[in-house]
Amino acid sequence: MFSESIELKTPAQLASLREAGPVVARTLEALRPKVSAGVTTAELDEFCRERLAAEGATTNFLNYHGFPATICISVNDEIVHGIPGSREIATGDLVSLDFGAIVDGWHGDSAITVEVGQASAEVAELNRVTEEALWRGIAAAKIGGKVGDISHAIGSYVKSQAKLSGGRYGITEGFTGHGIGSALHQSPDVPNTGRRGKGAKIVPGMALAIEPMITLGTSRAAILEDEWTAVTTDGTWAAHHEHTITVTETGVWVLTAIDGGARPPAARESRC
């Protein structure tokens, strides 16, 4: 999808990226408890717009190729790129929140998926597997390695979990993670399935958005008439988790983590 060369950031530029990431993290954390029965997705968008202004940041989603909001909100069988509007969130919904910000010209991009009230065991497990797949991908990103190592870690984990559960998970085709930096979407693509040792070499100064989009069934997506919302072709539900990272000689910075990547993933109790 992206043919341009990979943008490598200087240490000073990485420091700027490290400013944008926590703005995204703080906004998503503040948004999470607001995703409750009765709220409209337009109200959630408005909250994000206000938070961006309060943070002194600007939006990288609004007007991106004509996208009409500051956040993508994708509910249930919607995978990604849902447009906020009059839809009311209901108990039991599975809501993916994909959000970004620009600080001093540098971009952050992150997504979480929230279960509203009590989710079914199957849906809760889908959400867990998707988030864990993200962290498996992050953990596979190492200097000297290849982007395919990340793709393989995500894809093989999802497939292993499908086997374990006796069910089926779809790894959405046609959508990938991506390079990020002075623009929201840059080279290289970061697919959610692939082979170890393939793809671009991971080098210092590279920043990547890693974002598994996993369904309870098909890997195929269709785009609604609004020309944005991607839905599963079989109506099964989907989850999406994303972080912006950079890789240094001493480890990964998870730029859109709430601490701006100060703690490596290995230090996260819930991830070990």
Minimum separation from the CB atom of position 21 to Mg ion (A): 12
Minimum separation from the CB atom of position 145 to Mg ion (A): 20
| CA–centroid distance for 89 within its chain | 21
| 26 vs 168, beta carbon nearer Mg ion | 26
Torsion of CA 174, 178, 183, 184, to 10 degrees: 60
β partners of residue 75: 95
| 77 vs 242, beta carbon nearer Mg ion | 242
| 207 vs 231, beta carbon nearer Mg ion | 207
CA angle centred on 11, ends 10 and 13, rounded to 5°: 65
Minimum separation from the CB atom of position 110 to Mg ion (A): 6
Minimum separation from the CB atom of position 163 to Mg ion (A): 28
- Count of residues touching Mg ion (by CB under 5 A): 5
Minimum separation from the CB atom of position 178 to Mg ion (A): 6
Binding mask 142-181 for Mg ion (x = CB under 5 A): ----------------------------------------
d(CA 117, CA 168): 24
Sites for Mg ion among residues 184-223 (CB under 5 A):
209
Stretch that binds Mg ion, among 97-105, 139-147, 166-174, 249-257 (CB under 5 A): 97-105
| 119 vs 208, beta carbon nearer Mg ion | 208
When asked if residue 93 is in the footprint of Mg ion (CB under 5 A), the reply is: no
Tell me if 243 sits within 8 A of 210, measured CB to CB.
yes
Minimum separation from the CB atom of position 121 to Mg ion (A): 27
Stretch that binds Mg ion, among 24-32, 37-45, 87-95, 104-112 (CB under 5 A): 104-112
Quick one: 53 exposed, middle or buried, by C-beta within 10 A (0-12, 13-18, 19+)? exposed
Instruction: Give the Å distances, CA to CA, from 34 to 93, 123, 141.
Output: 13, 20, 33
Stretch that binds Mg ion, among 23-31, 57-65, 240-248, 255-263 (CB under 5 A): 240-248
* Cross-sheet strand order for the sheet of 207-210: 186-190, 177-179, 207-210, 243-248, 251-254
Instruction: Give the Å distances, CA to CA, from 234 to 48, 73, 158.
Output: 31, 20, 19
Minimum separation from the CB atom of position 200 to Mg ion (A): 17
Residue from 93, 109, 115, 125 binding Mg ion (CB under 5 A):
109
Residue from 98, 125, 131, 189 binding Mg ion (CB under 5 A):
98
d(CA 6, CA 4): 7
Count of alpha carbons within 13 angstroms of residue 74, beta-carbon side = 31
d(CA 183, CA 83): 21
Residues lying near Mg ion in the complex (CB under 5 A): 98, 109, 111, 209, 242
